[in-house]
């Protein structure tokens, strides 16, 4: 069933660390040709690509700031050129860019959060369409968040709303593109132990989070991987589109 991954042409944004790195390594191990995108973590991205090559897969790295439309378009076209087409786009790059209270909100923070988490997904997806159309089919998996449904913690309103946008866009694009054999789904991680929380969450926040998770612990990046493999595998999810797969230890049961 997973044979179809051999030679599948995949671009994963934000693949240098955390969830994107874990997904990249697994897809590479399954035989995919992986474009490992990064922004600032070049050596980590190179390590991901080299792990994939060591496991017998094929991978290379590409740099772009995905909050800039021009860089996103170049990223997609470069990846498709080097992969000789594109079968799967995983829009995973994103960040909260700080917990900012409503009292301290300003235009700059608004633009930075929306550009990174929303503009990137919209522009990358649109830029991928001509490449999908050339193949006669395509697949997009967006990384949204549990925050899209629960509103996020204090100071995370913009980020949570941006992820709400991503979830809604996922459903809209799924409808608009279904007739062209392009599926669009998303994965919504809960609280996953990555650098994201090293930057944004206190010990007290994470302890409180654990207490609200029925499984009693944070998730790992590796535990998110299965959802991406499921959504990326035609044989497993060929009739699934417009869905959000929640990976959260039971913290939210929508
Ligand atoms: P992470 O370890 O901090 O990784 C974030 C990734 O995004 C990195 O690869 C980073 O690239 C990339 N990135 C950040 N800013 C970028 C920019 N301007 N242009 C291009 N790439 C950029 O975080 P993670 O936890 O794996 O997060 C991955 C995704 O899951 C994000 O969309 C995040 O919002 C979402 N998410 C995470 C959690 C969680 O609990 N961890 C929960 C729900 C959703 P460089 O390092 O190369 O700059």
CB 20 within 8 A of CB 13: yes
Around ligand 1, the residues with Cβ closer than 6 Å are: 14, 16-20, 38-41, 65-67, 92-95, 116, 143, 145, 189, 191-192, 194-197
Query: Which residue, chain included where needed, has tokens 């509103």?
Result: 151
Main-chain phi, psi angles of 232, to 5 degrees: -90, -10
Cα Rg of the chain, angstroms: 17
Residue 245 backbone dihedrals phi, psi, to 5 degrees: -95, 120
| For ligand 1, atom 24: residue with the closest CA | 18
C-alpha to C-alpha distances, 59 to 9, 16, 121, 142, 159, nearest whole angstrom: 10, 12, 22, 21, 31
- Summarize pLDDT for 10-58 with one digit per residue, the tens: 999 999 999 999 999 999 999 999 999 999 999 999 999 999 999 888 9
Instruction: Tell me the CATH number for domain 2-247.
Output: 3.40.50.720
Map residue 131 onto helix, strand or coil: helix
- Measured by CA distance, the residue closest to atom 19 of ligand 1 is 65
pLDDT at 56: 81
Domain boundaries, the chain: 2-247
* Beta carbons within 10 angstroms of residue 194's beta carbon: 20
- Write the CB contacts of 70 (distance below 8 Å, at least 6 apart in sequence): none
Q: What is the pLDDT of residue 115?
A: 98
CA angle 11, 229, 215 (to 5 degrees): 125
3-class secondary structure per residue, 61-115: EEECCCCCHHHHHHHHHHHHHHHCCCCEEEECCCCCCCCCCHHHCCHHHHHHHHH
- Ligand 1 atom closest to 94 (CA): 32
d(CA 49, CA 46): 5
> Is 159 tagged catalytic?
yes
Q: Name the 3-class secondary structure at 156.
A: coil
Per residue in 34-43, pLDDT (tens digit) is 999 999 999 9
CA distance 177 to 208: 40
* Index of the ligand 1 atom closest to the CA of residue 146: 43
Annotated catalytic residue, options 38, 110, 159, 228: 159
- Digit-coded pLDDT (tens) for 65-111: 999 999 999 999 999 999 999 999 999 999 999 999 999 999 999 99
Report the distance separating Cα 202 and Cα 188, nearest Å: 22
3-state helix, strand, coil in the chain (%, to 5): 55, 15, 30
Task: Show Cβ contacts of residue 198 under 8 Å, excluding neighbours closer than 6 positions.
Answer: none
Distance from Cα 107 to the centre of ligand 1, integer Å:
22
211 pLDDT band, cuts 50/70/90, is very high
Q: Percent of the chain at pLDDT above 70? A: 100
Name the residue among 67, 78, 68, 99 with its Cα closest to residue 11.
78
Give pLDDT tens digits for 186-201.
999 999 999 999 999 9
- Dist CA 35 CA 43 (whole Å): 15
pTM for the full model? Answer: 0.99
**CA–CA dist 15, 44 (Å, integer):** 9
Q: Which of 11, 14, 70, 147 has the most ligand 1 atoms within 8 A of CB, as the residue to mutate?
A: 14
Cα–ligand 1 centroid distance for 38 (angstroms): 10
Nearest CA to ligand 1 atom 37: 189
Q: Is pLDDT above 90 for 213?
A: yes
């Amino acid at each position: 069933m997973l044979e179809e991954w051999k030679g599948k042409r995949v671009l994963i944004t934000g693949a240098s660390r955390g969830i994107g790195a874990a997904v990249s390594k697994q897809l590479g191990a399954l035989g995919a040709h992986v474009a490992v995108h990064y922004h600032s973590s070049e050596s980590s991205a190179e390590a991901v690509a080299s792990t994939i090559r060591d496991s017998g897969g094929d991978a290379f790295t590409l740099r772009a700031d995905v909050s800039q439309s021009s860089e996103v378009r170049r990223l997609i076209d470069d990846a498709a050129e080097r992969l000789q087409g594109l079968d799967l786009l995983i829009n995973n790059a994103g960040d909260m860019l700080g917990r900012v209270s409503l009292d301290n909100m300003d235009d700059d923070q608004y633009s930075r959060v929306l550009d990174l988490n929303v503009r990137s997904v919209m522009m990358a997806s649109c830029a991928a369409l001509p490449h999908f159309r050339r193949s006669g089919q395509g697949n997009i998996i967006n990384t949204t968040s549990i925050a899209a449904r629960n509103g996020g913690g204090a100071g995370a309103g913009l980020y949570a709303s941006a992820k709400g946008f991503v979830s809604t866009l996922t459903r809209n694009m799924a409808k608009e593109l279904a007739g062209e054999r392009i599926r669009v789904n998303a994965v919504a991680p809960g609280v996953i132990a990555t650098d994201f929380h090293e930057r944004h969450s206190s010990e007290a926040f994470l302890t409180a989070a654990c207490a609200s998770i029925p499984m009693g612990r944070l998730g790992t990046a590796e535990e998110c991987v299965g959802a991406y493999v499921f959504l990326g595998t035609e044989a497993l999810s060929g009739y699934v589109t417009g869905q959000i797969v929640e990976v959260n230890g039971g913290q939210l049961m929508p």
